[in-house]
Amino acid sequence: MWLKRLRARLDDAITYGTKTEALSIAREGLRQAKERKLLGEIEYFKGQLEIIKGRFVTAIEHFDAAIEYNPKDGASYNDRALCMVELGIIDEAFSYFDKGIKVESDYATIYHNKGWLLNNIGRYSEAIKYFRKALELEPGRAVTYDNLADALGNLGDYRASYQAYQKVLRLLKPGECLDIRKQIAKQMELLTSLDNGKIA
């Protein structure tokens, strides 16, 4: 259970926090994994540290080692795929997302990240399916609603996009993520104008 909580904290820090915060959590994970002699987790957190530092090739080596120790760790497949995206290896990244989904089908983050990649390469309808699956597994994922809103907007469904952004604002903790709140407010204004003021 400690591992799941720590991984969730790290994911939040990477998404909404700072690099310093993410590094601190990854180091804590590595320390705890070493104390418990969990070889797969040691490699996983070493990989996280490399990602945060922008060293994606080295990160992939650690995630491959983590997968060797624990072939059912969807997070290692997921993060390996994200490193591949950073390196421009898009098609093969999809295969790693799919491998992760196969071994850990209840891991919401991997569906979210596959949807994120699909959205970024213009496959909006497919992206929406993966975002919805992530939200089915984890309904309180603000970041997934944020990406869902973007994909819906890309498809011209301005009203649904606006509603997804509203959900993000409700899920974010009050007083936190002020920059993200401002960006979302601008997006909502744009959607209102694109829909001729009918939204709201």
Over residues 88-124, the pLDDT tens digits come to 999 999 999 999 999 999 999 999 999 999 999 999 9
- pLDDT of 66 reads 98
Residue 172 φ/ψ region, left for φ over 0, alpha for ψ in the -120 to 50 degree band, beta for the rest: beta
Give the DSSP letter of residue 106: T
| Percentage, residues of the chain above pLDDT 90 | 84
Return the CATH architecture of domain 125-200.
Answer: Alpha Horseshoe (1.25)
In the chain, where the domains are located: 1-105, 125-200
- pLDDT of 57 reads 98
* pTM: predicted TM-score of the whole model, two decimal places: 0.93
DSSP string, 24-51: HHHHHHHHHHHHTT-HHHHHHHHHHHHH
- pLDDT of 200 reads 60
pLDDT higher than threshold 80 for residue 197 = no
- pLDDT of 2 reads 80
pLDDT higher than threshold 90 for residue 194 = no
pLDDT higher than threshold 90 for residue 3 = no
pLDDT higher than threshold 90 for residue 55 = yes
Measured CA to CA, the distance from residue 126 to residue 96 in angstroms comes to 17
Check whether domain 1-105 has CATH 1.25.40.10, yes or no: yes
Question: 126 CB contacts (<8 Å, ≥6 apart)?
Answer: 115, 118
3-class SS letters over 1-16: CHHHHHHHHHHHHHHH
Instruction: List the structure tokens of 175.
Output: 């007083």
- What average pLDDT does range 17-33 have in this prediction? 93
- pLDDT of 185 reads 93
